[in-house]
Amino acid sequence: MRQKNLSTQLAHEIGRRIVSGQLAPGEVLPKAEVLSQASGVSRTVTREALKALEALRLVESHQKIGTLVRPRSDWQWWSQEVLRWSTEVTPNRAFLVQLTEVRMAIEPAAVALAARNALDEDILRIVENFLRLEAALRGEGDWAKADYEFHDSIMLAAHNELMLSLVRMLRDALLYSRRHTMPLMQHTSPEASVESLALHRAVMEAVCQRQPSRAYRSMFRLLRAVSGLVHRLTEEEGTAWA
């Protein structure tokens, strides 16, 4: 068990360096003996860590060359590990932008499904979560958590298990995004938070009134506003972003 924990920890350390760009695609990792010595672990632990990274397609081994970092396009981005390492790189410009693009591709369709498929208990849950979101805006709770739970309640109402599973896999990444964009929204103007809540209210009302097309448009407008915040954040941070 201790050996497994050590290999997991080492895989985390190397994986985070790869995702952050400290180890670039095409770069050759130090030999297992060197990694073992530097990390204070056995070669068996090191080999297990490298196998775990190979399974995530972050690295590949070649007999004559060694272990190389694979191109980013090869990585298993939908794995929990790679997603988690991406959120640990703060701030991560490319990840936030791409995450928002994924949301714009998925969530409007999910909201339209929710407006079509929601049961009465789903509607009650969505309203309850919106009220928590409203309270969080007044400082009564964690906005990021309340916002995630509001959107999650809509995903549940869509009654599409594949879509729900896909979005829930992104939970930590979505919380990460919200915690970076919320401070900027509050800093922009006193009205920005109120406007965001109004966009959320429009989504809720469209779903509760079972109007799929309106729900789709409302969610798209909300995510377009999020996209604007993300791009503004990247412009303000400039070259400090990964």
pTM here?
0.80
Sequential DSSP letters for 65-131: TEEEEPPGGGS-TTSHHHHHHHHHSSS-HHHHHHHHHHHHHHHHHHHHHHHHH--HHHHHHHHHHHH
**Per-residue pLDDT averaged across 24-42, rounded?**
92
Structure tokens at 203: 């989504």
Select from 74, 109, 129 the last residue of a domain. Answer: 74
How many Å separate Cα 231 from the centre of its chain?
16
Element (H, E) at 175: helix 171-188
Assigned domain for 167 exists = yes
Q: What is the mean pLDDT of residues 30-39?
A: 91
pLDDT for the residue 89: 72
Using one digit for the tens of pLDDT, what is the confidence trace for 152-172?
999 999 999 999 998 988 888
Tally of structural domains, the chain: 2
Residue where a domain stops, chosen among 74, 103, 134: 74
10 and 120 belong to one structural domain: no
Whether 22 and 107 share a structural domain: no
DSSP state of 64: T
Same domain, 119 and 40: no
41 and 107 part of one domain: no
Residue 59: strand pairing partners: 69
The amino acid occupying position 160 is N
Arithmetic mean of pLDDT, 120-126: 98
Q: Within a 10 A sphere around the Cβ of 236, how many other Cβ atoms?
A: 11
- The stretch 71-91 carries a mean pLDDT of 87
User: Does 239 have pLDDT greater than 50?
Assistant: no
Q: How far apart (Å, rounded) are the C-alpha atoms in residues 178 and 167?
A: 15
Identify whether 55 is part of a domain.
Answer: yes
**Residue 198 is assigned to a structural domain of this protein:** yes
Please indicate, yes or no, whether residues 158 and 57 belong to a single structural domain of this protein. no
Separation CA 187–CA 190 (nearest Å): 8
* Two structure tokens written together for 232: 């503004």
The torsion angle over the Cα atoms of residues 182, 183, 189 and 192, rounded to 10 degrees, is 0
- 124 shares a domain with 53: no
**Selected residue with higher pLDDT from 187 and 111:** 111
Q: Which of 85, 110, 227, 128 is nearest to 167 (CA)?
A: 110
Give the residue-averaged pLDDT of 68-81: 94
Instruction: State whether 140 and 211 are in the same domain.
Output: yes
Highest mean pLDDT among 95-99, 113-117, 175-179: 113-117
pLDDT tens across 213-234, in order?
Answer: 999 999 999 999 988 888 776 6
Q: Which amino acid is at 58?
A: L
Question: Which of 74, 107, 128 marks a domain boundary?
Answer: 74
pLDDT at 140: 86
- Considering the domain architecture, whether residues 213 and 189 belong to the same structural domain is answered as yes
> What range defines the domain where residue 116 resides?
90-240
Question: Would residue 81 count as lying in a domain?
Answer: no
- pLDDT at position 90, please? 62
* Confidence band for 184, pLDDT divided at 50, 70 and 90: low
**CATH code of 159's domain:** 1.20.120.530
